[in-house]
C-alpha cells in the first residue's frame, strides 16, 4: 500500500489504482474510498487485478504516485496518477497505448472514490433520470429530468441501485467533500445504502465514477481527470455545506460571454403559420426604441422569431429564406431587414440576431434529408412533434422529425446550411439555437449514437463552427440534456438564477409577461410581440397580448428582472 500526505490530507492507496481511506487533518474527519473488492471493467468485462501488470512508477515527496498498467490480453497500457494538491487529491487516467484500437469504455465496479459511513452527515445530489422513448404528452422523447435531493444519510431510504448523478457532495458543518470530473455526460454515480445496522435505514453514502467512454465515433476522449476535494468554510458563513461546494464549482467554470452580462436581451415574435404576422420589421424597431428610452440606453440584443419561411417552426432545417410578410414591401424584405439592423445599432445600441433551429426537420423543407435523421431501433425516423398528439394550439405545425447532429456534422450538411444562413443575413456576436440538445439518439444497425456522441461529434462541432465566425451560441434551456452545461453555453433562455451557475450561465428564469421573479433578477424569457389575439382567462375575461397593453408589465420585468439581474451579475453569489 502507498500513503500520500501534505498539510491538509493523508490518503492511503492500494497496490492497485484505488483509494482506501482519507484523513482530513484540520477537521479530524475520516472518509472511505473503495473496498478491497473494487475492480476495473474493460469494454464491459470485469478484470481481476492479477490480469494486469501493475508497477508504481514513482513517488515524489509523499505527494504523488503513478501506476503503470498493462493488460496483455488487449495489449492495452494505462497510466494512473495520484497527486496531492492542497486540499484535494487529483487523479488522471491516461490511455498510453491501445495497439489494436480495442478500448471503448472503462467502468469502476464496487470501487467508489469517496464514501461516508458517518450517518449524521448530509448529502446533496442532482439525480439524472431518463424519460420514456415513447412520445411524451408534455413533449420530448428520451430526454432527462434532474431532481435535486438534500437529506441526512440517516434519514434516507436506501437506493435500489446506484443513481446517475450530475453533482453531489457530502457535508456536515465542519467539512464538505465531493468528487469532480471532467467527463461531460453524467460523470458520477451515487448511492445511499445500508450496511446492516438497521433494515431499510441508510448508513452509507458513496460517490463513484460513471462509465468513461474512450472512443466516440472517430474521436477519442481527452484523459479522464478527477479531483476529490475537501472543503471547510469557503463562503464565510461559518459552516461547510452544499453552498461551499456550489461556490467551488462556480469558480472552476468559465465566465459567461460578456455580451449577455451587459445587455438586456429578449425575443421579438415576428410570425407563425397559424397566427400570421405578429410583429413586422418596422414594429420591431418601435419595440426597441421604447425599451431603449425606458432603460436609459442600456445595450439590447433582440432575437427575431419567425423571420424565415412562413414564420416560427417552418422551413427547418433550411435557413435560407426570409419571411417576406414581415416587410412593408415584400419585394424589398432584405433591404428592410438591413435597415432594421442598421437603425437598431446606430440609434439604439441594439444588436439584431435570430432564433434558428438545427434540431428539427420538416418533410416540406427544401433541405429535407432522411439520411441525417435520428432513427428508432426499427429503422423509422424519430418523430419529435406529431400534430395528432400536440395541443390544439399547435395547429399549422406539420409533423417534425429529429435530426441526428452527429450524422448532420459527418455529412457536412449542417455547415452548408449555416453558410447559406450567414450569406443571407448578417449575424453579429450571437445567435439563438432553439431546442438544441444532445438527446437525439439514433439506432443505425449495429451503431448507436447516444448523448456522448451527440455532444462530442454533433453539438460541439456546430458550436465551434459558429464560434470561428465570431458568433456565440445561446439556446433554449437545459432541454433535458444530461451534460455539464457550463462551458458549453453562456446563455440559456430559461435558466433559474442559482449559485452554481451565477455569472457562468446567464439568462431568464420564471419571468413572463404575467409574473415577475421579484427580487431574484433575470433576463426576459418571454417573447414580445407587437400585436396578438387576446387570451381567454376565465368566463368572459380576456387578457390583451399586444405590446401597448403589456407595456406596464414589460417595464416591471425590465426593472425588477433584467436591470436587477445586471446588478447581481456584477457580484459573486456565495
> What residue ranges do the domains of the chain occupy?
2-252, 258-569
pLDDT digits (tens, 9 = 90+) for 161-180: 999 999 999 999 999 999 99
Nearest to 206 by CA among 82, 92, 117, 93: 117
Q: How confident is the model at residue 380 (pLDDT cuts 50, 70, 90)?
A: very high
Q: How far is CA 524 from CA 177, 347, 369, in A?
A: 36, 22, 35
pLDDT digits (tens, 9 = 90+) for 189-239: 999 999 877 788 899 999 999 999 999 998 999 999 999 999 999 999 999
435 within 8 A of 404, measured Cβ to Cβ = no
320 within 8 A of 422, measured Cβ to Cβ = no
267 within 8 A of 303, measured Cβ to Cβ = yes
Which pLDDT score, from 0 to 100, does residue 396 have? 47
Question: Which grid cell sits at 221?
Answer: 476522449
pLDDT digits (tens, 9 = 90+) for 96-135: 999 999 999 999 999 999 999 998 999 999 999 999 888 7
The pLDDT of 145-149, averaged and rounded, is 93
Matching residue, cell 487529491: 89
pLDDT digits (tens, 9 = 90+) for 420-456: 999 999 999 999 999 899 999 999 988 999 999 999 9
pLDDT digits (tens, 9 = 90+) for 279-303: 999 999 999 999 999 999 999 999 9
Q: How far is CA 4 from CA 69, 81, 141, in A?
A: 20, 12, 47
Average pLDDT, the chain: 91
39 within 8 A of 58, measured Cβ to Cβ = no
170 within 8 A of 123, measured Cβ to Cβ = yes
* Residue 141 in this model has a pLDDT that exceeds 90: no
* Residue 394 in this model has a pLDDT that exceeds 70: no
Which pLDDT score, from 0 to 100, does residue 362 have? 94
Fold of the 2-252 domain? Beta-galactosidase; Chain A, domain 5 (2.70.98)
Which pLDDT score, from 0 to 100, does residue 477 have? 84
What whole-number percentage of the chain has pLDDT above 70?
Answer: 93
Q: How confident is the model at residue 497 (pLDDT cuts 50, 70, 90)?
A: confident
Question: What is the Cα–Cα distance from 113 to 19, expressed in whole angstroms?
Answer: 7
What are the beta bridge partners of residue 322?
308
**3-state secondary structure at position 331:** helix
Which pLDDT score, from 0 to 100, does residue 420 have? 98
* Residue 355 in this model has a pLDDT that exceeds 50: yes
Question: Which grid cell sits at 196?
Answer: 446492516
The pLDDT of 38-49, averaged and rounded, is 97
Question: What is the Cα–Cα distance from 449 to 326, expressed in whole angstroms?
Answer: 39
What whole-number percentage of the chain has pLDDT above 90?
Answer: 78
Provide φ and ψ at 347, rounded to 5°. Answer: -95, -25
Task: Assign 3-class secondary structure to 447-493.
Answer: EEECHHHHHHHHHHHHHHHHHHCCCEEEECCCCCCCECCECCECEEE
Question: Which grid cell sits at 353?
Answer: 440576431
Question: Which grid cell sits at 92?
Answer: 488522471
Which pairs with CB-CB distance under 8 Å and at least 24 residues apart come from 505-513?
505/256, 506/256, 506/260, 506/261, 506/565, 506/569, 507/260, 507/474, 507/477, 511/557, 511/561, 513/545, 513/550, 513/553, 513/554, 513/557
**What's the half-sphere exposure (Cβ side, CA atoms, 13 Å) at 116?**
29
Which pLDDT score, from 0 to 100, does residue 195 have? 81
Question: What is the Cα–Cα distance from 350 to 371, expressed in whole angstroms?
Answer: 39
* Residue 507 in this model has a pLDDT that exceeds 90: no
* Residue 58 in this model has a pLDDT that exceeds 80: no
191 within 8 A of 205, measured Cβ to Cβ = yes
12 within 8 A of 19, measured Cβ to Cβ = yes
Question: Which grid cell sits at 82?
Answer: 495520484
The CATH code of the domain at 258-569 is 3.20.20.80
* Residue 389 in this model has a pLDDT that exceeds 50: no
Q: Choose the weakest-confidence range: 56-65, 386-395, 464-473, 512-521.
A: 386-395
Write the Ramachandran bin of 80: left for phi over 0, alpha for psi from -120 to 50, otherwise beta: beta
Which uninterrupted H or E stretch holds 114? Answer: strand 114-116
Matching residue, cell 432527462: 144
The alpha carbons of the chain give a radius of gyration, in whole angstroms, of: 26
pTM: 0.93
Q: Choose the weakest-confidence range: 107-111, 373-377, 389-393.
A: 389-393
Give the Cβ contact number of residue 85 at 10 Å: 14
Which pLDDT score, from 0 to 100, does residue 33 have? 97
540 within 8 A of 556, measured Cβ to Cβ = no
**3-state secondary structure at position 292:** helix
432 within 8 A of 303, measured Cβ to Cβ = yes
Question: What is the Cα–Cα distance from 34 to 15, expressed in whole angstroms?
Answer: 12
Strands 472-475 and 430-433: parallel
Amino acid at each position: 500500500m502507498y500513503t500520500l500526505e501534505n498539510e491538509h490530507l493523508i490518503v492511503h492507496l492500494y497496490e492497485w489504482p484505488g483509494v482506501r481511506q482519507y484523513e482530513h487533518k484540520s477537521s479530524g474527519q475520516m472518509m472511505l474510498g473503495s473496498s478491497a473488492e473494487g475492480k476495473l471493467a474493460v469494454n464491459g468485462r470485469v478484470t481481476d487485478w492479477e490480469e494486469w501488470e501493475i508497477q508504481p512508477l514513482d513517488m515524489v515527496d509523499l505527494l504523488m504516485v503513478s501506476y503503470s498498467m498493462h493488460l496483455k490480453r488487449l495489449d492495452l497500457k494505462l497510466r494512473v496518477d495520484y497527486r496531492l494538491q492542497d486540499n484535494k487529491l487529483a487523479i488522471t487516467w491516461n490511455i498510453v497505448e491501445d495497439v489494436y484500437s480495442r478500448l471503448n469504455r472503462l467502468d469502476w465496479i464496487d470501487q467508489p472514490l469517496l464514501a461516508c459511513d458517518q450517518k449524521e452527515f448530509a448529502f446533496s445530489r442532482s439525480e439524472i433520470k431518463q424519460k420514456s422513448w415513447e412520445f411524451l404528452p408534455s413533449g420530448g422523447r428520451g430526454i432527462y429530468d434532474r431532481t435535486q435531493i438534500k437529506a441526512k444519510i440517516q434519514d434516507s431510504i436506501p437506493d435500489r441501485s446506484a443513481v446517475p448523478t450530475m453533482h453531489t457532495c457530502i457535508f456536515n458543518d465542519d467539512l464538505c467533500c465531493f468528487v469532480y470530473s471532467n467527463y461531460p455526460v453524467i460523470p458520477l454515480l451515487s448511492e445511499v445504502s445500508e450496511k446492516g445496522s438497521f433494515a431499510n435505514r441508510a448508513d452509507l453514502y458513496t460517490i463513484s465514477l460513471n462509465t468513461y467512454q474512450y472512443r466516440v465515433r472517430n474521436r477519442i476522449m481527452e484523459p479522464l481527470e478527477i479531483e476529490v476535494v475537501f472543503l471547510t468554510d469557503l463562503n464565510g458563513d461559518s459552516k461547510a455545506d452544499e453552498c461551499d461546494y456550489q461556490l467551488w464549482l462556480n469558480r472552476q467554470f468559465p465566465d459567461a460571454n460578456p455580451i449577455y452580462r451587459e445587455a438586456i436581451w429578449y425575443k421579438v415574435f415576428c410570425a407563425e403559420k397559424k397566427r400570421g404576422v405578429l410583429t413586422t420589421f418596422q414594429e420591431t424597431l418601435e419595440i426597441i426604441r421604447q425599451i431603449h428610452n425606458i432603460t436609459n440606453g442600456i445595450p439590447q440584443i433582440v432575437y427575431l422569431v419567425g423571420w424565415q419561411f412562413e414564420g416560427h417552426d417552418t422551413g427547418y432545417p433550411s435557413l435560407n429564406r426570409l419571411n417576406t410578410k414581415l416587410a412593408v414591401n415584400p419585394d424589398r424584405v432584405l433591404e428592410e431587414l438591413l435597415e432594421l439592423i442598421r437603425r437598431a445599432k446606430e440609434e439604439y445600441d441594439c444588436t439584431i440576431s435570430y432564433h434558428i433551429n438545427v434540431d428539427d426537420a420538416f418533410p416540406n423543407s427544401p433541405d429535407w434529408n432522411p439520411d441525417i435523421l435520428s432513427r428508432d431501433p426499427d429503422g423509422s425516423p424519430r418523430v419529435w412533434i406529431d400534430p395528432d398528439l400536440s395541443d390544439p394550439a399547435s395547429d399549422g405545425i406539420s409533423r417534425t422529425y429529429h435530426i441526428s447532429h452527429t450524422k448532420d456534422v459527418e455529412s457536412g450538411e449542417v455547415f452548408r446550411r449555416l453558410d447559406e444562413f450567414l450569406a443571407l443575413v448578417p449575424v453579429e456576436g450571437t445567435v439563438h439555437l432553439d431546442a438544441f440538445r444532445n438527446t437525439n439518439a439514433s439506432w443505425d444497425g449495429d451503431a448507436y449514437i447516444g448523448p456522448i456522441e451527440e455532444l462530442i461529434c454533433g453539438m460541439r462541432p456546430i458550436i465551434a463552427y459558429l464560434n470561428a465566425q465570431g458568433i456565440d451560441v445561446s439556446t433554449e434551456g437545459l432541454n433535458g440534456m444530461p451534460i455539464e452545461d457550463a462551458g458549453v453555453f453562456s446563455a440559456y433562455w430559461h435558466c433559474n438564477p442559482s449559485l452554481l451557475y451565477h455569472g457562468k450561465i446567464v439568462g431568464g428564469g420564471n419571468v413572463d409577461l404575467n409574473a415577475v421573479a421579484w427580487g431574484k433578477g433575470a433576463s426576459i424569457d418571454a417573447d414580445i410581440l407587437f400585436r396578438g389575439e387576446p387570451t381567454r382567462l376565465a368566463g368572459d375575461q380576456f387578457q390583451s397580448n399586444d405590446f401597448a397593453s403589456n407595456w406596464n408589465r414589460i417595464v416591471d420585468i425590465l426593472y425588477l428582472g433584467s436591470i436587477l439581474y445586471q446588478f447581481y451579475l456584477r457580484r459573486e453569489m456565495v
